[in-house]
Amino acid sequence: MLFKEYLPCPELRKYVDRYWKFVVAPGENSGQPITHVFPPDGSCSLVFVSLNNFHYKGVTFIGPTTTINEILVHPNSINFGIRLKPGCSGLLYDNDVATIANDSVTIPPHQLADWQQQFLQNLDLDLDDTTQLDTALVTILTKSKFKPDDRVLKAVDLIINHDGNFTLTEIADHACISPRQLQRLFNSATGITIKQFCQIRRLRKAVIDIHIGRQTYAEMVNSRGFSDQAHYYNSFKKVAGYDIRKFFEHINNIEHQLA
């Protein structure tokens, strides 16, 4: 199994965090379904799905994720996603994302835009070129009336760029707004709280440090501000709602190529 990320073009990076794909090869697990877990990222994603063994292609919008989700995935399949920055879901989804937190909605085929239909047609396991998505989203930007709240985006970027290692007061000062106002605006725009997003980004970075960066637990604990390994385990369980040992058993079976 492969999970790979791609950077969007510079014009989109205010709104789009990453493109990503998750591929399960045709011969994986002797052709049988596989239990897959994916960690929360606090973001929304528009996901293009191709299940080749079932001759199915479709599009799903995933709401902000705050807990680990466990699903069955099928060999000979690909999921290709557009991960929007928190506060930017209105670019591709018109409804309140808080109503689909840790959930998703499938877009009916007759409601798919032309660019979505075209991308689905081109979707295969070897797809690596994101130019088509860049072009489509830049066009949407030029025509869309959606305008994200810059104060929320300042907070989001600070949290992402520093892996959640700021207090609410520090984040509010950066966004030039009071903590109470920022909390209200952030929750309304993203469907999650600032505390949740900071916790998610902090734990996400810790996972990357261990799994991708090959740091020891002692090194990660020291750099991420946990008091010890047990503190990290307990924080992961409390925030993600999942046992970290079981989580690593799953992700160790996946090749990760992060952007």
Q: Which range among 146-150, 209-213, 216-220 has the greatest average pLDDT? A: 146-150
pLDDT in tens, 58-89: 999 999 999 888 889 999 999 999 999 999 99
pLDDT given at position 57: 97
Count CA atoms within 13 Å of residue 148 on its CB side.
26
What is the per-residue burial (b if ≥16 Cβ within 10 Å, else e) of 92-102? bbeeebeebbb
Q: Identify whether the C-beta of residue 83 lies closer than 8 Å to the C-beta of residue 133.
A: no
160 and 130 assigned to the same domain = no
87 and 138 assigned to the same domain = yes
**CATH number where 168 lies:** 1.10.10.60
pLDDT in tens, 92-109: 999 999 999 999 999 999
> Quick check: is 53 in a domain?
yes
Distance of alpha carbon 236 from alpha carbon 51, whole angstroms: 32
Res. 218 pLDDT band, cuts 50 70 90: confident
pLDDT given at position 232: 83
67 and 111 assigned to the same domain = yes
11 and 102 assigned to the same domain = yes
As for how many domains the chain has, the answer is 2
Structural domain boundaries, residue 205 = 150-241
> Quick check: is 247 in a domain?
no
109 and 164 assigned to the same domain = no
115 and 226 assigned to the same domain = no
Residues in contact with 117: Cβ distance below 8 Å, sequence separation at least 6, in sequence order: none
pLDDT given at position 45: 97
The structure tokens 């798919």 sit at 112
Q: Left (φ > 0), alpha (ψ -120 to 50) or beta: where does 180 sit?
A: alpha
pLDDT given at position 155: 97
